[in-house]
Amino acid sequence: MRIKICGITQPDQGCAIAQLGATMLGFICVPASPRYVTSEQIRRILQDLPISIQTIGVFANASLDQIYQTVIETGLTGVQLHGHESPDFCDRLRQLLPEIELIKALRIKSPATLVQTQDYFNQVDVLLLDAYHPQQLGGTGQTLDWQSLQQFNPPCSWFLAGGLTPNNIQEALQQLKPDGIDLSSGVERSPGDKDLAKVRLLFQVIAGNREQGTGNREQGK
Ligand SMILES: O=C(O)c1ccccc1N[C@@H]1O[C@H](COP(=O)(O)O)[C@@H](O)[C@H]1O
């Protein structure tokens, strides 16, 4: 399972979180967010990271040109679209930046909203499900109704996001088997300031969960 820690703003925290086991780091390129980082800041953080870490820029309703410029300036390996971007917009971004990993986040207001995800199956690499909040686009700490997602099985990869923490990740992963998880505010001291003790605990809980799964399989459960 891939693990993305989002809202990185400091080079030392990025390195430490990569060392703890994150496979992806996210950088908020949404100016209104308290976790916003400029291209210059992203570049500085990326230069110390191991090459194996995927680095994702998170955008919301930005123009194709803004996204293109940021990716070219920074060397990000992927883009997460967290606003109201259409499937056609995803297509055009794919043509512009064919090498990057393309993630479309959808904020799920009700189980009925899940139907919208179908429009993106062929357009993106990963679908990311986040919780809906009427005023904020992301990083809200709100959880989804995990039970209502149990039948969600898209033909592409999907990530679970929204209010995940070291305290609730075990329950979430007992109910769902996403290809990846994405955490931001659940491993923070304050917006953009990651709490390394919480990140460490997260990886310990996930490792325990994996061992439990292996044990259950060995015992035929
Ligand atoms: O984190 C932000 O400030 C943010 C701003 C605008 C769009 C997305 C944002 N973050 C994304 O929100 C989800 C869930 O965050 P949380 O774990 O509930 O705090 C995550 O995908 C972030 O990438």
CATH number at residue 19: 3.20.20.70
Task: Return the closest-CA partner of residue 82 out of 131, 38, 22.
Answer: 131
12 by Cβ neighbours in 10 Å (0-12 / 13-18 / 19+) ranks as exposed
Nearest residue (by CA) to ligand 1, atom 7, is 138
pLDDT in tens, 57-73: 999 999 999 999 999 99
Q: Kindly give the parts of the chain with pLDDT less than 70.
A: 213-221
Q: How many residues does the chain have?
A: 221
Atom of ligand 1 nearest to the CA of 188: 19
Give which of 23, 19, 21, 20 is closest to 4, Cα–Cα: 23
pLDDT of the residue at 215: 56
Expressed as residue numbers, the domain containing 173 is 2-219
Q: Is 166 in the pocket of ligand 1 (CB under 6 A)?
A: no
Write down the pLDDT at residue 221. 45
- The number of distinct structural domains making up the chain is 1
10 Å CB burial of residue 20 (0-12, 13-18, 19+) is middle
Atom of ligand 1 nearest to the CA of 6: 23
122 by Cβ neighbours in 10 Å (0-12 / 13-18 / 19+) ranks as exposed
For residues 106 and 104, what is the distance between their CA atoms, to the nearest angstrom?
6
Q: Tell me if residue 33 falls in helix, strand or coil.
A: coil
Residue at 74: amino acid letter: T
Q: What is the pLDDT of residue 13?
A: 98
pTM: 0.95
Q: Is 28 in the pocket of ligand 1 (CB under 6 A)?
A: yes
> What is the CA(24)–ligand 1 centre distance, in A?
14
Give the residue, by CA position, lying nearest to ligand 1 atom 1.
Answer: 139
Distance CA 43, CA 74 (A): 5
